[in-house]
Amino acid sequence: MSLSNNRITKLFNIKYPVIQGGMVWCSGWRLASAVSNQGGLGLLGAGSMYPEVLREHIQKMKTATDKPWGVNVPLLYPSIEELMQIIVEEGVKIVFTSAGSPAKWTAHLKQHGITVVHVVANSKFAKKCEDAGVDAIVAEGFEAGGHNGREETTTMALIPIIRKATSLPIMAAGGIGSGEQMLAAMALGADGVQIGSLFALSEESSAHQAFKLHAIRSHEGDTLLSMKKTTPVRLLRNHFFEQVKEAEERGASPEELRELLGRGRAKKGIFEGDIDEGELEIGQVAAMINEIKPVAQIFDDLINSYNGALSNLGKL
């Protein structure tokens, strides 16, 4: 399976079909430009940026890399209109939308010549993406860090389901931290991969060192899906997680849960490194990440392990 010549590398004009997922408090211009400079596609995570902060990061991106890159916009946050206006004004060429309907913004972005990708966790939304005219889909499974689908479909089951539902190019996301996992996702029908946790824990990620260290020391079972009543999100266990769990178990209302979450919990945990009271978003794959590496090394390891796995399979 050629890594460098498929529908995803052609769509974005990149070397490897490896997308660094947009991630609140992790993926500013430093991480995104490092990924693009290695031949993947770096995405700025607009979800944790005020509009003018996004503009600043876009402008820094333009000087930090001459390779393709994009912006991720979770549609559930406020200031969407302003963020989209800045994206158009600044001439951004690729936008990944998530956490909302693809029908809302796709046509507008495409009118401005922008390539649009939407993140889905089920086949119903994959079909909506096709109707809305998106160029490609990220299919994100239950293992993934951050916000998650209610259906709890794992990547292993989700990719073939989405493959059947649409002919659009697919990037598999959720639980991918090595070339072996990349190859598996592509064997299931994906054209490329979107990786979050592995890059969130890289040197160039803007996450706090305490968050990164806490995550790389975690084991299987240490991340769980939380806040299923409001917006499901995969979190590392900590005091905040236990508070949410206790509230959910005694039947707290969505309003109470939203209040407990408050504003700024993710910033507190991921960016400020408060590992007790913050919201620690990370995927199951954290249990197999034991080191904080620079992006260049992450790419070397991914490509080498992909090629190794491919040749091992050939011997079967």
Ligand X SMILES: Cc1cc2nc3c(=O)[nH]c(=O)nc-3n(C[C@H](O)[C@H](O)[C@H](O)COP(=O)(O)O)c2cc1C
Taking the complex as a whole, the smallest distance from the CB of residue 73 to ligand X amounts, in Å, to 8
Binding mask 271-290 for ligand X (x = CB under 6 A): ----------xxx-x-----
Cα 283 from Cα 87, distance rounded (Å): 28
Taking the complex as a whole, the smallest distance from the CB of residue 231 to ligand X amounts, in Å, to 12
Taking the complex as a whole, the smallest distance from the CB of residue 316 to ligand X amounts, in Å, to 26
Q: Are 88 and 113 spatial neighbours (Cβ–Cβ below 8 Å)? A: no
Binding mask 76-95 for ligand X (x = CB under 6 A): --------------------
145 counts as binding ligand X under rule CB under 6 A: yes
- Cα 220–249–149 angle (5° rounding)? 55
Give the residue at shortest CB distance from ligand X: 196
45 counts as binding ligand X under rule CB under 6 A: yes
192 counts as binding ligand X under rule CB under 6 A: no
| Cα atoms found within 13 Å of the Cα of residue 113, Cβ hemisphere only | 6
102 counts as binding ligand X under rule CB under 6 A: no
Nearest alpha carbon to residue 145 among 305, 38, 20: 20
- What tokens were used for 247? 């509230």
- What tokens were used for 86? 């800045």
Q: Identify residues 199-258 at the interface with ligand X (CB under 6 A).
A: 200
Taking the complex as a whole, the smallest distance from the CB of residue 253 to ligand X amounts, in Å, to 26
Taking the complex as a whole, the smallest distance from the CB of residue 168 to ligand X amounts, in Å, to 17
Nearer to ligand X, 159 or 173 (CB): 173
Binding mask 56-75 for ligand X (x = CB under 6 A): ----------------x-x-
Contacts (Cβ under 8 Å, ≥6 apart) of 141: 121, 153, 154, 155, 156, 157, 158, 159, 172, 173, 174, 175
Candidates 55-63, 174-182, 254-262, 287-295 — which segment interacts with ligand X by CB under 6 A? Answer: 174-182
Candidates 110-118, 121-129, 196-204, 292-300 — which segment interacts with ligand X by CB under 6 A? Answer: 196-204
Give me the sheet containing 94-98, strands edge to edge: 18-20, 192-195, 170-173, 136-140, 115-120, 94-98, 69-74, 42-45
- What tokens were used for 287? 């249990």
Q: Identify residues 7-26 at the interface with ligand X (CB under 6 A).
A: 21-24, 26
Q: Are 245 and 236 spatial neighbours (Cβ–Cβ below 8 Å)? A: no
Burial label for 39, CB within 10 Å (0-12, 13-18, 19+), is: middle
Q: Identify residues 25-44 at the interface with ligand X (CB under 6 A).
A: 26
State the DSSP H helix or E strand holding residue 141, giving kind and residue range, or none if neither: none
User: Phi/psi at 136 (nearest 5 deg)?
Assistant: -165, 170
Exactly one of 174, 192, 232, 269 binds ligand X (CB under 6 A); that residue is 174
Nearer to ligand X, 24 or 64 (CB): 24
Taking the complex as a whole, the smallest distance from the CB of residue 71 to ligand X amounts, in Å, to 10
Torsion of CA 244, 248, 250, 256, to 10 degrees: 70
119 counts as binding ligand X under rule CB under 6 A: yes
Please report, as ranges, the residues that interact with ligand X according to CB under 6 A.
21-24, 26, 45, 47, 72, 74, 98, 119, 140, 143-146, 173-176, 194-197, 200, 270, 281-283, 285
